[in-house]
Amino acid sequence: MQSCKSMATLNDVAKIAGVTPTTVSRVINMRGSLSQKTIERVHAAMRELNYQPNAMARSLQGKKSQLIGLIFPSVAYPFYGEIIHAIESKLFEQGYKAILCDSENDPIKERAYLTMLMANQVDGIITSSHNKEIHEYENDNLAIVAFDRYLADGIPIVSSDNLAGGKLATDYLYEQGCRKIAIVAGVSDTISPTENRRLGYQTMIAERHLTPLIHYLPRESNLNQKRQSIHQFLVEQQPDGVFCTDDLTAVIVQNLATTVHLDNLKVVGYDGTQVIQSFMPSLSTIVQPIDDLAELMVKILIQKIEDEQFTPQANYVLPVTLKK
């Protein structure tokens, strides 16, 4: 065991993992074909030693890489695509380049990306990780900002006002005459501010003396499974209003409404991306301030990179609006 973990070398990692230094290097840089068992052994050894590839050399040189890692769930979702674009643009304006990593529902992949980012000497990371127990985020030597997710103490969280958004959506449905208002939401394993969307819904339901109808979508379900789950829920519960915690789910609900004879069903989504507003202009939605969120995350991250004494707030919350 190293007496000083921060001084661990690649050879130390190789010795503990029971592999060659070349294999450790291949794992770090995600090169070549390696068994999952070997990759996991190397990652475990790195965590045990708190090994940070090239971090010591960079600090001794006093240089910055001007590289920022972005770890987000699938960029196939319009919201993540738009916020990543905004973040990348603002980083470039400040002289930084981005390395994008797609990590949805795969903690092993996410750990591999984190290792690769540190090997490439990124100056910081902006992440919206949906995987739990990624202990690499507890690295005090790296500037990290989280979007809508709690990762570890000391990592600031930037989010929209999810609680207000949930209240706003539910109250709007009530004002439209709905009295059997449901919420359709995904299930999260992480501690996330997005859970406040459901809490906002429940708060307004209680204030209006209504009965809550909460439908959780199956974990890690594909599009057809989501459709089937929502279809069954609509048939069984016959709501007159539905608040969906994301716009893509809201589109599914809206499209299914006529097939289950709920022609007057009112639906409100959440995110308000340009893509959804362009292709589904009739959809009411809670609009997140994507550009402002991106600007704030970049500002906090750069301040953390440039000022070691900077202590950010634990949470930064930006207001949302209702697009009727």
Q: Is the pLDDT of residue 56 over 70?
A: no
Of 17-26, 87-96, 199-208, give the lowest mean pLDDT range.
Answer: 17-26
Of 103-107, 166-170, 244-248, 292-296, give the lowest mean pLDDT range.
Answer: 103-107
The mean per-residue pLDDT over the stretch 96-108 comes to: 87
> Above pLDDT 90, what percent of the chain?
60
What are the chain's domains? 8-40 (no CATH), 162-287 (3.40.50.2300)
pTM above the 0.85 mark? no
| Distance between CA atoms of residues 184 and 198, nearest Å | 9
Q: Is the pLDDT of residue 59 over 60?
A: no
Of 230, 192, 32, residue with least CA distance to 112:
32
Name which residue leads in pLDDT, 115 or 155. 155
pLDDT band at 5 (very low <50, low <70, confident <90, very high): very low
